[in-house]
Amino acid sequence: MKNLLSLLLLAVPFIGNAQELKLNDCEYFERKGVNVLVFSNNFNGGFNDEKNSGIEIIHHGVRTVQGGAVRLSNTPEQWDLVPKTVSRKVDREKNSIEVSMRYDEYDFDSRVVVTARGKAVEISVWLDKPVPEKLAGEAGFNIEFLPSQYWLKTYSVDGRLGRLPRYATSQTVTRPNSEKPRQFKGFKTYDDRGTNRFVDPLPIETGHQLTLATDQPERMISISSDSELKLYDGRMLAQNGWFVLRSILPKDKTGKVLSWTVEPYAIPGWIREPNIGFSQVGYIPDQPKVAVIELDKNDTPQATASLMRIKPDGTSEQAFSGAINSWGPYYKYNYVKFDFSSVRQPGIYYIQYGKTRSNDFLIDEHVYDKITDATTDVWVPIHMNHMYVNEGYRTWHGEPFKEGYLQAPPSDHFDLHSQGESTDKYKPLELIPGLNIGGFFDAGDFDIETGSNINVVQNFIRTWELFHPQRDETFVSQQQRYVDLHRPDGVPDILQFIEHGILNLVSQAEQIGHMASTLSNSVLDNYHHLGDAASITDGLHYDPSLRPYEVSADGKRSGTPDDMWAFTTRNPRLDLQAAGVFTSAARVLKGYNDDLAKRAQTQADRLRKEATELLAKRNIRRNAQAEADDAWLYGDANMVRNVQTALDSVPMKDNAYLKQIRPLIVKFAEYVKNFDTQNPYGVPIGLGNWAGVNMVLNFGIAVNYAHIYFPDVVSKDEIYRVANWLYGCHPYHNYSFVAVVGAARPKQVFYGNNRADFSFIPGNVAPGLLFRQPDHFENYDDWPFLWGQNEGTIAGNTQYVIFGSSFKNIVTK
């Protein structure tokens, strides 16, 4: 292998020793093309291993390595234990970072020290006390490689050659459950089918010197150690697993127990290709058109860029040439802008910036006409729960959860759910009748989050009352429990979506007496389900008198505890929210489904009364309704929410009210403009572990509404900010975050329930750019499994429907 490596090194220009890894001001190791981060991002307690933490490597702009830490299994899954970071020390003199980590569950402490050594880093593990008996032979140092960047690449281990597989097909063994390190809160990610054994992958290769991607300089990386290195395929256990390299920590040893030398190859003089951000859906002729170009900090900006027009014969001509204006640095990159607003002639165009050419896009009056169609016609109906959903020749899913929902016993559950001490009306594990109707899957998972479902119905009601979209492309039969896409049935789809949401919410109120917090999976081993939702549970009532996997003689009950649970701890604020949506739904459904409208109104009145009393009893003087009414009086911090609340009331109020809220809208207009100085893209950008699309959409909806009611205060030009961001004008890449109709280049993978197929559900909206500390924005388009950047939620996607509907309404005026 050494020969191969040196051949490659000789084949490219040699730059000299100046390019050594150095600790930079952001506290990570850096050289051109290589960033080595050491616990800039810690493991998360709420979801455990999110594949975003520990030692990470950003290799020629792509974060291809993460998870570097002491771990307790060969290929850790999301719900396996993660170490807590106890301390992190940066030593500039020694050019090193030391992290102390701890597993409380095993009273196990370790330290990892990463030291720059020329172009490589040394990673060493130190122990003050030996590995605990229980973990001897299980605890090891692991590091993980992004499959989509390493599959089909060659590797070499001690001179033996191979190629990493596109699909997981290595080998496994089974071991007794008693040998499995504890998982999240004692739950199990796997269904062992009564064998009492868990699956453990075997290594693909073992050795002392490994080089990955010998055939691709951007990805090539070498690791050597005196300890045995084992290479695993984490996808053997879980589709979201990564390639794992690990060394087992030795037994009975203390001090420096392990050392690896890791050298990511860097292309000499590498400079990242400019990322030309623009709207992949295109532009209407009279809107502002400004591309934001993201540049490597070592790149020299061009003086000008061109807008090229494709002629009918396929050749192109320059339509416009204009100056490049500097915006300046924002986190790790530098930003410039190219304004081609003066080009109004409809046509097919591309941007030429230096040697970088964008893909083609349209300037045309009609580019935005269909931006919500995929979301309303495809994404939303596919997420209708308790229905069979068909599309042409394809079944998206059968009817899920036919056996209904059991009362959750008191529990501290996964997915942030819990059930309090008491269970009110039903005994733990008693069947609550009537809940398996209506409602929408939460997101990439299949639970009904009551709060989100309330938002969904609210979003649809707002869209309906303001714009009355008559679009009918979906057949919905509650009687047949059947949905057929692209089959009109004479009823506007939005009304049917409102009805479907209310059916579940009203049933909760009727059956339980108040709202459940969520209807969700009882066992972790079916929570991560990927496939037909109808097969998450067996459709048979759980009967604990039967053995697991046993079915009763009448075929109606089984001993498999897979039935879903209703988490019912009463939350009067949620009840008040539900009461609000029931009142609006009663108004909308009247004349379409009078019976449901009446049921909704009955529950609204009861819940409002009871919840208000409960809140008063709990000494909370202000109820949520009062809070909402005067929320806009508060300061700047809740600006967007306050503006939206004020604007939502406009249809019910008079001119005096418009006058009253005008100063708020004037302040809001300044607030909107101020984003131009905060970042190059002019929208709020989130830095949390769920990227910021919901915040961006809220901002966009508020801007749209403000323009609709106060066009002289918030001008039409402002409404394009969020559209630009969503459709491609953002950091990292320039793909549309929305799998939308009209986009030339939408994202190709999303974290939908078909993510194992590296696919998407049309109309989905990705959370967008995930911020990784200290300075990296990311949105993978070849790896769907990080929900913080690629999942779409039912609340977020219906928010997008309002955004898109109000946006189209303004544009087409």
Residues 6+ apart with CB under 8 A from 732: 275, 294, 769, 777, 778, 779
Minimal distance, residue 524 CB to Ca ion, in Å: 13
Nearer to Ca ion, 57 or 523 (CB): 523
Tell me the C-alpha distance between 644 and 332, whole Å. 34
Minimal distance, residue 415 CB to Ca ion, in Å: 5
| H or E element at residue 805 | helix 794-811
Sheet strand arrangement including 474-477: 394-397, 388-391, 482-485, 474-477
Nearer to Ca ion, 475 or 705 (CB): 475
Minimal distance, residue 404 CB to Ca ion, in Å: 9
Q: What phi, psi does 201 have (nearest 5°)?
A: -70, 150
| CA separation, residue 476 to residues 381, 577, 600, 732, 802 (Å) | 9, 27, 20, 40, 22
Nearer to Ca ion, 646 or 795 (CB): 795
Minimal distance, residue 661 CB to Ca ion, in Å: 36
| H or E element at residue 96 | strand 96-103
Minimal distance, residue 124 CB to Ca ion, in Å: 40
| CA separation, residue 783 to residues 147, 260, 787 (Å) | 8, 27, 10
Minimal distance, residue 786 CB to Ca ion, in Å: 16
Residues 6+ apart with CB under 8 A from 18: none
| CA separation, residue 386 to residues 436, 493, 786, 791 (Å) | 6, 17, 27, 21
Q: Which of 487, 509, 531 is nearest to 397 (CA)?
A: 531
Minimal distance, residue 547 CB to Ca ion, in Å: 14
Nearer to Ca ion, 491 or 756 (CB): 491
Tell me the C-alpha distance between 168 and 151, whole Å. 10
Nearer to Ca ion, 474 or 511 (CB): 474
Nearer to Ca ion, 19 or 478 (CB): 478
- Environment class of 369 (CB within 10 Å of its CB; exposed 0-12, middle 13-18, buried 19+): middle
Minimal distance, residue 53 CB to Ca ion, in Å: 21
Nearer to Ca ion, 263 or 493 (CB): 493
Minimal distance, residue 403 CB to Ca ion, in Å: 5
Nearer to Ca ion, 222 or 407 (CB): 407
For residues 399, 405, 411, 416, the Cα torsion angle rounded to the nearest 10 degrees is 40
| CA separation, residue 306 to residues 14, 114, 350 (Å) | 35, 46, 8
Minimal distance, residue 514 CB to Ca ion, in Å: 20
Tell me the C-alpha distance between 630 and 626, whole Å. 7
Tell me the C-alpha distance between 496 and 492, whole Å. 7
Amino acid at 286: D
Nearer to Ca ion, 67 or 381 (CB): 381
Nearer to Ca ion, 563 or 778 (CB): 563
Minimal distance, residue 416 CB to Ca ion, in Å: 8
| CA separation, residue 147 to residues 188, 311, 778 (Å) | 24, 41, 16
Nearer to Ca ion, 112 or 534 (CB): 534
- Environment class of 146 (CB within 10 Å of its CB; exposed 0-12, middle 13-18, buried 19+): buried
Strands 96-103 and 84-91: antiparallel
Residues 6+ apart with CB under 8 A from 9: none
Minimal distance, residue 717 CB to Ca ion, in Å: 36
Nearer to Ca ion, 22 or 556 (CB): 556
Tell me the C-alpha distance between 21 and 115, whole Å. 9
Minimal distance, residue 517 CB to Ca ion, in Å: 11
List residues near Ca ion by CB under 5 A. 403, 442, 445, 447, 472, 474, 489, 491, 493, 537-538, 540, 562-563
Tell me the C-alpha distance between 729 and 742, whole Å. 15
Nearer to Ca ion, 202 or 429 (CB): 429
Contacts 24+ apart (CB under 8 A), 631-640: 632/661, 632/664, 636/667, 636/671, 639/667, 639/668, 639/671, 640/684, 640/695, 640/698, 640/699, 640/702
Tell me the C-alpha distance between 151 and 167, whole Å. 8
Find residue 518's DSSP bridge partners: 449, 567
Q: Assess contact for 756 and 749: CB atoms under 8 A.
A: no
Residue nearest to Ca ion (CB): 442
Minimal distance, residue 265 CB to Ca ion, in Å: 40
**Cβ count near 394 (within 10 Å):** 8
Q: What is the 8-class DSSP label of residue 650?
A: G
| CA separation, residue 227 to residues 9, 98, 125 (Å) | 26, 20, 12
Minimal distance, residue 246 CB to Ca ion, in Å: 31
Tell me the C-alpha distance between 4 and 156, whole Å. 10
Task: Mark residue 682 as left, alpha or beta (left: phi above 0; alpha: psi -120 to 50; beta: remaining).
Answer: left
Nearer to Ca ion, 329 or 428 (CB): 428
Find residue 206's DSSP bridge partners: 230
Minimal distance, residue 550 CB to Ca ion, in Å: 12
Alpha helices in 224-375 (DSSP H): 373-374
Minimal distance, residue 473 CB to Ca ion, in Å: 7
Minimal distance, residue 657 CB to Ca ion, in Å: 35
Nearer to Ca ion, 59 or 413 (CB): 413
Nearer to Ca ion, 567 or 710 (CB): 567
Nearer to Ca ion, 535 or 678 (CB): 535
Nearer to Ca ion, 527 or 777 (CB): 527
At 224 the three-state DSSP class reads strand
Tell me the C-alpha distance between 535 and 396, whole Å. 12
